[in-house]
């Protein structure tokens, strides 16, 4: 690491970024505010803070090379380990969501396809590879990584994807192999994961030039835990009627717990978000003005349709109050126990929804339907994501049968809207609205 790079990064952090932000605020002040949609309650005040945090994160990342070791990380990897070595972390999946929301999915996917990547592959991977080949990104510029850190607790896809990056960049790939839980988690699985974590420590020491400090690790793990717990509490506020935010808000407010977990900024952010949501609950302020029906979403967001869908549902007095996706960064954190850090870290990361059998998912969804008083279920069959999608037809059937709630499957993709038929989705949703209104 070079001293001048460190100084430059510090300067940008202390002066450059705040100056840029003030300038942006001054310009924004002159813009005409958007007309409020009467179907929605007042917007969350925290949204401005969220935007600042994420902009700062991406902006400062440009100055990280040379100042801090840089890692590209999958959303389900035990990032607490990297935090202890002061890695600047970039989450390609979060970047993929950003590109998707900015409707850049097809363009970046096509850049990967031009290099031979099949349009049938996960579009987060294609967006990332497309960005890698073309340099295009709405985030300005992403820093090149020194290492790649990946866990297959969300899918095997990330392993194939990160292998390509490791090969192209000639850098090490650290893989945390989390055996799929076909049933209950076993002691053998935990022992295997714990041994892998211990094996990674010397590798990370070498890559970062820093010695491992257990106390620091525990402190950061505690920060990570509290951010996830606070996130979970934020989601729980949606059990109130009317719910103070929608899942479409949550898809966006999820970014810090994914990308900045283990840093004070994430914990602090969720403290203020929770305070705002609690206040809204106390004052009876709903995310939508006329909450008649409460829905649950299954699978990752359709990023290029978040606004359209939120308006479509809000106009009918339907609010999404729960999602298996947003829940994923809170559901297992109770396992993290600083008195047994390695075993508990293994459990926390192994027991996430996508590394668990479908019976577990069904049980979790049944519980959520009850706790959040859900009236209907929307299942996004995401072409990109086989581990999230394979099994959904039966999941929908069983959940409808067991709980007697209407459910619909819409075929779409997370970022690549070339695979989305709006017409077909709307036809299915119309039928769903009818059955829901009749229920």
When binding is defined by CB under 6 A, the residue of 44, 54, 148, 158 that contacts ligand SF4 is 158
Provide the edge-to-edge strand list for the sheet that holds 407-412.
Answer: 318-323, 293-298, 376-382, 407-412
Q: Considering the complex, what minimum distance in angstroms separates the CB of residue 186 from other proteins?
A: 7
For ligand SF4, the closer of residues 59 and 162 by Cβ is 162
Strand 318-323 and strand 293-298: the pairing is parallel
CB atoms within 10 A of CB 329: 21
Q: Considering the complex, what minimum distance in angstroms separates the CB of residue 356 from other proteins?
A: 9
Q: Name which of residues 397 to 416 contact ligand SF4 (CB under 6 A).
A: 414
> Binding partner of residue 109 among ligand SF4, other proteins, none, CB under 5 to 8 Å per kind?
none
> Binding partner of residue 158 among other proteins, ligand SF4, none, CB under 5 to 8 Å per kind?
ligand SF4
Q: Considering the complex, what minimum distance in angstroms separates the CB of residue 392 from ligand SF4?
A: 13
Sequence-distant (≥ 6) Cβ neighbours of residue 86 within 8 angstroms: 68, 69, 208, 210
For tokens 């581990």, the residue is 387
Q: Name which of residues 83 to 122 contact ligand SF4 (CB under 6 A).
A: 93, 122
Q: Considering the complex, what minimum distance in angstroms separates the CB of residue 129 from ligand SF4?
A: 12
- 409: left (phi > 0), else alpha (psi -120 to 50), else beta? beta
For other proteins, the closer of residues 205 and 271 by Cβ is 205
Please give the angle made by the CA atoms of 380, 386 and 389, to the nearest 5 degrees. Answer: 30
Burial class (CB in 10 A: 0-12, 13-18, 19+), 14: exposed
When binding is defined by CB under 6 A, the residue of 40, 63, 72, 124 that contacts ligand SF4 is 124
DSSP lists the bridge partners of residue 403 as none
> Binding partner of residue 184 among other proteins, ligand SF4, none, CB under 5 to 8 Å per kind?
none
When binding is defined by CB under 6 A, the residue of 129, 185, 223, 300 that contacts ligand SF4 is 300
Q: Considering the complex, what minimum distance in angstroms separates the CB of residue 400 from other proteins?
A: 13
CA dist 18 and 24 (Å) reads: 10
Q: Considering the complex, what minimum distance in angstroms separates the CB of residue 194 from other proteins?
A: 8
> Binding partner of residue 300 among ligand SF4, other proteins, none, CB under 5 to 8 Å per kind?
ligand SF4
Interaction between residue 175 and ligand SF4 (CB under 6 A): no
Helix (H, G, I), strand (E, B), or coil: what is residue 288? strand
Query: For residues 59 and 90, is the Cβ–Cβ distance under 8 A?
Result: no
For other proteins, the closer of residues 390 and 431 by Cβ is 390
DSSP string, 125-153: HHHHHHHHHH---TTS-PPPPSEEEEETT
For other proteins, the closer of residues 279 and 394 by Cβ is 394
Please compute, for residue 213, the number of CA atoms within 13 A of its CA located in the half-sphere on the CB side. Answer: 11
For ligand SF4, the closer of residues 132 and 388 by Cβ is 388
CA dist 83 and 68 (Å) reads: 11
Q: Name which of residues 350 to 389 contact ligand SF4 (CB under 6 A).
A: 384-385, 387-388
CA dist 72 and 323 (Å) reads: 26
> Binding partner of residue 124 among ligand SF4, other proteins, none, CB under 5 to 8 Å per kind?
ligand SF4
Question: Segment near ligand SF4 (CB under 6 A), from 133-141, 151-159, 203-211, 327-335?
Answer: 151-159
- In the complex, which residues of this chain contact other proteins (CB under 8 A)? 115-118, 120-122, 125, 152, 155-157, 159-161, 163-164, 166-168, 173, 175, 177, 179-180, 182-183, 186, 188-189, 191-192, 195-196, 199, 357-359, 362, 381, 383, 386-387, 389-395, 398, 411
Q: Considering the complex, what minimum distance in angstroms separates the CB of residue 169 from ligand SF4?
A: 19
For other proteins, the closer of residues 411 and 437 by Cβ is 411
Closest CA to 74 of 228, 201, 178: 178
Sequence-distant (≥ 6) Cβ neighbours of residue 283 within 8 angstroms: none
Helix (H, G, I), strand (E, B), or coil: what is residue 154? coil
For tokens 């479509």, the residue is 312
Interaction between residue 129 and ligand SF4 (CB under 6 A): no
Chain residues binding ligand SF4 by CB under 6 A are 93, 122, 124, 154-155, 157-158, 300, 384-385, 387-388, 414
């Amino acid at each position: 690491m070079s001293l001048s790079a460190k100084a430059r990064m510090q300067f940008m952090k202390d002066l450059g970024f705040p100056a840029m932000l003030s300038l942006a605020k001054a310009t924004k002040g002159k813009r005409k505010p958007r007309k409020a949609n009467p179907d929605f309650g007042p917007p969350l005040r925290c949204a401005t803070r969220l935007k600042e945090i994420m902009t700062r994160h991406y902006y400062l990342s440009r100055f990280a090379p040379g100042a801090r070791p840089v890692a590209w990380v999958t959303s389900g990897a035990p990032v607490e380990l990297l935090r202890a070595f002061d890695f600047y972390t970039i989450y390609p999946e979060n970047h993929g969501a950003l590109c998707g929301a900015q409707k850049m999915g097809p363009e970046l996917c096509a850049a990967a396809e031009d290099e031979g990547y099949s349009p049938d592959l996960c579009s987060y991977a294609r967006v990332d590879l497309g960005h890698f080949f073309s340099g295009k990104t709405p985030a300005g510029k992403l820093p090149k990584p020194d290492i790649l850190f990946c866990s297959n607790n969300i899918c095997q896809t990330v392993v194939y994807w990160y292998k390509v990056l490791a090969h192209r960049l000639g850098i090490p790939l650290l893989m945390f192999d989390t055996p799929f839980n076909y049933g209950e988690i076993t002691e053998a699985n935990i022992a295997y994961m714990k041994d892998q974590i211990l094996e990674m420590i010397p590798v990370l020491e070498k890559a970062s030039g820093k010695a491992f400090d257990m106390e620091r690790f525990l402190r950061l793990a505690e920060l990570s835990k509290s951010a996830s717990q606070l996130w979970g509490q934020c989601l729980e506020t949606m059990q109130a009627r009317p719910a103070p935010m929608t899942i479409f808000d949550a898809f966006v407010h999820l970014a810090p717990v994914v990308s900045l977990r283990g840093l004070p900024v994430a914990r602090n952010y969720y403290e203020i978000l929770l305070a705002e949501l609690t206040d809204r609950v106390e004052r009876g302020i709903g995310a939508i003005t006329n909450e008649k029906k409460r829905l649950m979403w299954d699978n990752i967001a359709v990023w290029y349709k978040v606004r359209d869908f939120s308006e479509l549902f809000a106009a009918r007095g339907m609010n999404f109050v729960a999602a298996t996706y947003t829940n994923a960064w809170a559901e297992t954190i109770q396992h993290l126990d600083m008195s047994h850090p390695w075993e508990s870290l293994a459990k926390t990361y192994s027991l996430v929804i996508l590394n668990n059998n479908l019976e577990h998912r069904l049980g979790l969804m049944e519980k959520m339907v009850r706790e959040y008083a859900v009236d209907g279920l929307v299942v996004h069959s995401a072409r990109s994501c086989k581990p999230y999608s394979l099994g959904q037809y039966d999941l929908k059937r069983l959940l409808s049968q067991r709980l007697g709630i209407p459910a619909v499957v819409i075929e779409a993709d997370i970022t690549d809207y070339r695979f989305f038929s709006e017409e077909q989705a709307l036809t299915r949703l119309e039928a769903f609205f009818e059955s829901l209104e009749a229920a």
